[in-house]
A and B are shown apart, each in its own frame.
Chain A
Amino acid sequence: MSTHVNAPTPTPAPAPVAAPAMPASTFLRRHWAWLAMLVLMLVLPWLFYDHARGRHSGFAITLMSEMALMAVFALSYNMLMGQAGLLSFGHAILFGIGAYSVAHTLNWIKASGVPIPVELMPLVGGIGGLVCGILAGYVATKQRATAFAMITMGIGELLTAAALMFMTFFGGEGGITTDRVTDTSIFGIPYTRPIQVYYLLVAWAIIAAVLMYLQTQTPLGRMANATRDNYERTQFVGYDPRVIRYWQFILAGFFAGIAGGMYCLVYEIVTFDTLAAVKSANALLATYIGGAVGFFGPVMGAVVVVGMQSGVSLHTSAWLLYLGVIFIAMVMFAPGGLLGLVANHIPIARMGRLGELAVPYARISLPTALASAGFILFVELVTHQTIGASQGKKFALLGQPIDPGSTIVWVASLVAMLVGTLWLRREGSFFMARWNALIEDAKARGIMS
């Protein structure tokens, strides 16, 4: 066999070698997901172009910008959760410090005239997050799982409260305002219009995502997975798991800081809520709902969370409740998140028997729709009683005004929930029977990887 541990053959630490030239078709086939996403991100704004006014819908552009930066934030969170098995409740501090760093830098550029390109601001955010990661990570990663979670929560609460108190760096309750229009663009773009900021964000999102993906293919990235799978075995192949975790935390901080910088560019104001527990919870929800295993999950989750937070919230104040219910349902029944659910279908698709699920899916979609409709109606009715009515809102279902006082509506919602749930249980067992049969077949044929 091979060499002795005491005198390893010195392997020159290689610089990232450029991949040997690959035929275009192979490149397309292997990286289709990336390319599809890039195209989608580039084209999407034009779906919301208001031809009458000759510009894009401001709301849509802001929404998409938020999705882009949230995706980077969630991906950085997954470096800890899915890759290293670390549950952090204070990830937002890395995001927030990044955002504050950019705000101060922009103000400094304005004041001193130093020509730092505004395009590099997310990098400044990344450096802020990196420094914060070095400091906080040192303390946090010394601990095992639960203690780690609590220290991150404690540091998060600490910094949030400090941000409210101290004026110099955090600006107290009012936060720090800034202006991204600095005349220092290296492309000569003024960034006065949201669409310009959006495309800058897309560029940074792609760069950050690609870097994070490549990191999973490095020795550190792989050993982070190993630490997640088996802490002890990691030690017995020669690694200190705490050092691995520390590095992973620092790198996650860098990328979270980039997301924070992106945030500052969009909103031009940074307040304590960029550090707060709610922000950290958003990262958690996005990553978990999207799927912590597998690379793209958090991106999907970010789209869902932002969609609900900024989209659904316009129609109902109970959006967070729905998000919470989805989250709990995932924790209990689909721990792999949305991506996991999709991935579960792959063995069946490989067998070419995906069509056999069409009928079962149709059969469970009806009771699910009924139960959900009943639940949503009930929740909205209750919310309207306590919150909506005092705000003077009228209750309307699909445009039809409904009197929330009438008993019929209440009874209807409860009946729908009850009937829907019972029906779902029956259809659910039928579905699971067909599903399990298909999976068993896949296993027998050795298709399960």
Chain B
Amino acid sequence: MEVFVVSLLNGLVYGMLLFMLASGLTLIFSMMGVLNFAHASAYMLGAYFAYTLSLYLGFWIALIVAPIVCGLIGAAIEMWGLRRVHKNGHIAELLFTFGVALIIEKVVQMTWGLIAVPYRIPEGLNFPLFDLWGTQFPAYRAFMLLISALMFLSIWLGLTRTRIGLVIQAALTHPDMVGALGHNVPRVFTLVFAAGTALAGLAGVIGGNYRVTEPGMAFSMGPIVFVVVVFGGLGSLTGCFIASILMGLIQTFAVVLDYSLADLLEVFGFIVTKATPGSEFLMVTLPRIAALLPFILLVLILVFRPRGLMGTRDT
């Protein structure tokens, strides 16, 4: 029971982190049709900036400044890079963001080195919040949940209560129409891109010390975020939210459920031994393939339901 509740909470934390990343990506993808490969790079930059900033100015300053810097970088990339490439088509845009991701990874390696940096949870938040059947639930995770919930709330309010938010909502599903109606679509695009990047940066600030901060984190986190975006469906933030939580729970629970296909077959009386053909495949346990699950899901989703959970447009 305790394992279940602890995993549930951890899965929620991870899922919210994924949502912070995936929501920005969904917005950008749905509106501009650009699959932003560099999105996870912003996550990485957020973590690294926060690390350096907190060394000199403390964590709380970093929490505010790092995402802003990321957002500014995003705006610059959009205005001077992406926009110019836009006329060459979607593939060119994709390739551009791919090149940016490549460069950012190298720059990070150059600036901070090849090995992980010791970006730690700030002392002020490093205490156990409460006890759950003998396991402690760290306060920092509650803090993460708080930040991500606040973020979700402000996005939701921003999108539904402000004028620019309504324009963005419309552009999510009907980008061409919004332009035809006379809104300054390029400016909206820059805003959304910058906001999405800043969000990713914020995710990096609070996620970087929860997980590891190292130069490969963008390329290992990136694909999972893509899966979430596709899973949730284009044009739907709610779908993205559900998909993020689901993914977080799936990956967290997979690690604790030490079962394999062979165990399942055993329930039906079919014993698998080393001699059985394909035994290696049947005997692999869930924790070992936890890293694989998002991609299996991706392939399944794209084959059976390309729209995702709640998508309004086909991918």
| A-to-B contact residues, CB < 8 Å | 85, 87, 139, 142-147, 149-151, 153-155, 157-158, 161-162, 165-168, 277, 281, 284, 288, 318, 320-321, 323-325, 327-328, 331-332, 335, 379, 382-383, 386-387, 390
Q: Residues of B contacting A167 with CB < 8 Å?
A: 280
How would residues 166 to 192 of chain B score, 1 for a CB under 8 Å from any chain A CB and 0 otherwise? Answer: 000000000000000000000000000
B95, chain A: closest CB distance, angstroms:
5
Q: Is the CB of A147 within 8 A of B302?
A: yes
A150 touches B88 (CB 8 A): no
A386 touches B113 (CB 8 A): yes
Q: Quick one: given A161-B291, A166-B281, are A277 and B219 in contact (CB under 8 Å)?
A: yes
CA distance A147 to B111 in the complex (A): 35
> Which B residues have a C-beta under 8 Å from some C-beta of A?
33, 35, 81, 84-85, 88, 90-92, 94-96, 98-100, 102-103, 106-107, 109-114, 219, 223, 226-227, 230, 280-281, 284, 288-289, 291-292, 295-296, 298-299, 302-303, 306, 314-315
The total of Cβ contacts below 8 Å across the A-B interface reads 121
B113 and A390 contacting across the interface, CB-CB below 8 Å: yes
Known: A139-B303, A151-B302. 10 other contacts (CB 8 A): A144-B314, A145-B90, A151-B299, A157-B295, A318-B110, A321-B107, A323-B102, A328-B99, A332-B96, A387-B114
Cα separation A143 to B81 with both chains bound (whole Å): 28
> Contacts A158-B296, A161-B291: A87 and B91 contacting too (C-beta < 8 A)?
yes
B295→A288 contact, CB < 8 A: no
The residues of A that contact B114 with a CB separation of less than 8 Å are 386-387
| Residue pair B85, A154 in contact (C-beta under 8 Å) | no
Contact B280 A168 (CB under 8 A): yes
Taken together as a complex, chains A and B put the C-alpha atoms of A150 and B81 apart, in Å, by 23
Tell me which of A166, A277, A325, A331 contacts B280 (CB under 8 A): A166
CB pair A143–B296 under 8 Å, yes or no, is no
> Chain A contacts of B314 at CB under 8 A?
144, 147
Task: Give the CA-CA distance A295 to B295 in the complex, in Å.
Answer: 34
Q: How far is the CB of B280 from chain A (nearest CB, A)?
A: 5
Question: In the complex the two chains form, is B288's CB within 8 Å of A331's CB?
Answer: no
Cβ distance B282 to chain A, nearest Cβ, rounded Å: 11
A149-B298 Cα distance, complex, nearest whole Å: 12
| A147 and B315 form a contact (CB under 8 A) | yes
- Whole-angstrom CA separation of A143 from B305 in the bound complex: 11
Q: CA of A151 to CA of B299 in the docked complex: distance in angstroms? A: 6
Q: Which residues of A contact B295 (CB under 8 A)?
A: 154-155, 157-158, 161
Tell whether A324 pairs with B99 under 8 Å between CB atoms, given A87-B94, A139-B303, A335-B92: yes
Task: Given A147-B315, A154-B223, A331-B85, verify A288-B35 contact (CB < 8 Å).
Answer: no
Per DSSP, chain B at the interface is helix
Q: How far is the CA of A87 from the CA of B35 in the complex (A)?
A: 12
Q: Which residues of B sit under 8 angstroms from A321, Cβ to Cβ?
A: 103, 106-107, 110
Query: In the assembly, what is the distance between CA of A165 and CA of B315, in Å?
Result: 31
Q: Which of B90, B113, B292, B315 has a CB less than 8 Å from the CB of A158?
A: B292
- B107 and A154 form a contact (CB under 8 A): no
For A386, give its contact among B35, B98, B110, B291 (CB under 8 Å): B110
Residues of chain A with a CB closer than 8 A to B299's CB: 139, 151, 154-155, 158
> Taking the nearest CB of chain A, how far is it from the CB of B110, in angstroms?
5
Residue from the list A149, A165, A386 in contact with B94, Cβ < 8 A: A149
Please, could you name 25 A-B residue pairs with CB atoms under 8 Å apart, sorted by A? A87-B91, A143-B302, A144-B314, A147-B302, A150-B298, A158-B296, A161-B291, A166-B280, A277-B219, A281-B102, A288-B95, A320-B106, A321-B106, A324-B99, A324-B106, A327-B102, A328-B81, A331-B85, A331-B95, A335-B88, A335-B92, A379-B110, A386-B113, A386-B114, A387-B113
Contact assessment for A331 and B96 in the assembled complex, using a CB-CB cutoff below 8 Å:
yes
The docked-state distance in angstroms from the alpha carbon of A318 to that of B280 is 40
Do A143 and B315 have beta carbons less than 8 Å apart? yes
Nearest CB in chain A to that of B35: its residue: A146
Q: A331-B96, A335-B92 are in contact. Are A142 and B227 (CB under 8 A)?
A: no
Question: How far does the Cβ of A93 sit from chain B's closest Cβ, in whole Å?
Answer: 12
Q: Smallest Cβ distance from A319 to chain B, in angstroms?
A: 9
CB-based closest 4 A-B pairs: A321-B106, A328-B99, A154-B298, A324-B102
Kindly state the separation between the CA atoms of A386 and B111 in the bound complex, as whole angstroms. 6
**A177 to B168 CA separation, bound complex (whole angstroms):** 55
CB pair A318 B106 closer than 8 Å: yes
Q: How far is the CA of A404 from the CA of B292 in the complex (A)?
A: 44
- How far, in angstroms, from A157 to B314 measured CA to CA in the complex? 23
Within 8 Å CB of A166, what residues of B? 280-281, 284
Taking a contact as CB atoms under 8 Å apart, the answer to whether A165 and B288 are in contact is: yes
Check A328 against B315 for contact (C-beta < 8 Å): no
Decide: B110 and A165 in contact? CB cutoff 8 A.
no
Contact A387 B85 (CB under 8 A): no
Q: Is the CB of B84 within 8 A of A332?
A: yes
Which residue of A has the minimal Cβ distance to B82?
A332
Question: In the complex, which residue of chain A has the Cβ closest to the Cβ of B29?
Answer: A146
Contact B292 A325 (CB under 8 A): no
Assembly CA distance A384 to B33 (angstroms): 39
Chain B residues with Cβ under 8 A from A379's Cβ?
A: 110
B225 to chain A, nearest CB (A): 11
Q: Could you say which residues of chain B place their CB within 8 Å of the CB of A150?
A: 35, 226, 230, 298, 302, 315
Q: Which residues of B contact A331 (CB under 8 A)?
A: 85, 88, 92, 95-96, 99
Which of B85, B90, B306 is the one whose CB lies under 8 Å from A332?
A: B85
Q: Chain A residues near B98 (CB, 8 Å)?
A: 281, 284
